[in-house]
Amino acid sequence: MNDIIQPTHLEQAEGRHSSNFNRLRGRLEHHVGQAIADYNMIENGDSVMVCLSGGKDSYTLLDILLALRKRAPIDFRIVAMNLDQKQPGFPADVLPNYLKKLGVEYHIETQDTYSIVKEKIPEGKTTCSLCSRLRRGIIYRVASELGANKVALGHHRDDMIETLFLNLFFAGKLKAMPPKLVTDKGDHIVIRPLAYCAEKDIARFARAMEFPIIPCNLCGAQENLQRQNIKGMLAEWERQYPGRTQTIFTAMQNVAPTHLLDENLFDFKNMLLGQKVAEGDIAFDMAE
């Protein structure tokens, strides 16, 4: 959902040239650069298609990637892509005008997925799943047409954590969003350079930059989506225990398959005496 975000009085007073804003930009650039390095997301000669929805996350992604490219030791192409899904009232001129002013290569793809979703999904039901599938197919096709081998999405750290809990609570899976993956057909690599970035930092950055945010009318009214409930749960945890969000994210980077129950990840049946199971001590909970 593309939130309409207004700058606070403090952010308006500080502006984008203040020391606080420079530290914020520096933090975001550092996190994006670190994620790119850790997962080898972008290499010399890559053509990166940045998916621009009109929301705070994708605007931030494009801005930071453009900034990093200026001083990167490698050469890579950036092309911005927006999918106009023909939602009623969608301001079709906003993104082209913004991208022209920015001077970045871009492509606007027009496909009426809105009508398809509204026809297939009953009123009041969640539209996100079908909408995402339709978008995904179009995005991969356009990437091929534009000669892009990498597709950059604007998912951030909080999106990944929320997805983990959505799968845990509602799908019975320990599964989140990978920072990098190969598409099913093997034609493209999807990357998420904002993987280390906190949503609150992105929101502050977007407010200070005064990006022309475009709300998503298709799903924006669905306030009872399970993702919103998960977001609220995590926000409450963070209020009670500051730093818990980062701890959860760190745990996602430190997985011990031998201490779970998935036989596809570890051969429990053929375990032998003397076999090394995992690094460190194994703890046992003794119930009395």
DSSP string, 63-129: HHHHHHHHH-SS--EEEEEEEE---TT--TTHHHHHHHHHT--EEEEE--HHHHHHHHSPTTS--HH
Q: Given the DSSP bridges, would you call strands 189-191 and 180-182 parallel, antiparallel or unpaired? A: antiparallel
Angle (CA) 254-259-263 rounded to 5° is 115
In a domain, 269, yes or no: no
In a domain, 52, yes or no: yes
pLDDT-derived band at 271, boundaries 50, 70, 90: confident
pTM of the full structure: 0.86
In a domain, 279, yes or no: no
In a domain, 281, yes or no: no
For residues 180-189, give the mean pLDDT.
95
For residue 5, pLDDT over 90 is answered with no
Could you tell me the residue range of the domain that residue 140 belongs to?
Answer: 9-249
Q: How many domains does the chain have?
A: 1
Q: How many residues does the chain have?
A: 288
In a domain, 260, yes or no: no
Residue 98 — φ and ψ, nearest 5°? -65, -45
- Report the number of secondary-structure helices (H) and strands (E) in the chain: 10, 6
Most trustworthy range by pLDDT among 88-102, 117-131, 193-207, 258-272 = 193-207
CATH of residue 54's domain is 3.40.50.620
In a domain, 263, yes or no: no
The string of DSSP codes covering 202-249 is HHHHHHHHT------TTTTT-TT-HHHHHHHHHHHHHHHSTTHHHHHH
Residue carrying the six token digits 């990840």? 265
pLDDT-derived band at 123, boundaries 50, 70, 90: confident
Most trustworthy range by pLDDT among 108-112, 175-179, 183-187, 278-282 = 175-179
In a domain, 13, yes or no: yes
In a domain, 76, yes or no: yes
User: What confidence score (pLDDT) does residue 101 get?
Assistant: 95
Choose between 196 and 118: higher pLDDT.
Answer: 196
User: CA-to-CA distance for 104 and 120, rounded, in angstroms?
Assistant: 36
User: What confidence score (pLDDT) does residue 281 get?
Assistant: 45
Instruction: Extract the tokens encoding 160.
Output: 């990944």
Q: Which of 7-11, 135-139, 164-168, 259-263 has the lowest mean pLDDT?
A: 7-11
SS3 at position 5: coil
User: What confidence score (pLDDT) does residue 275 get?
Assistant: 72
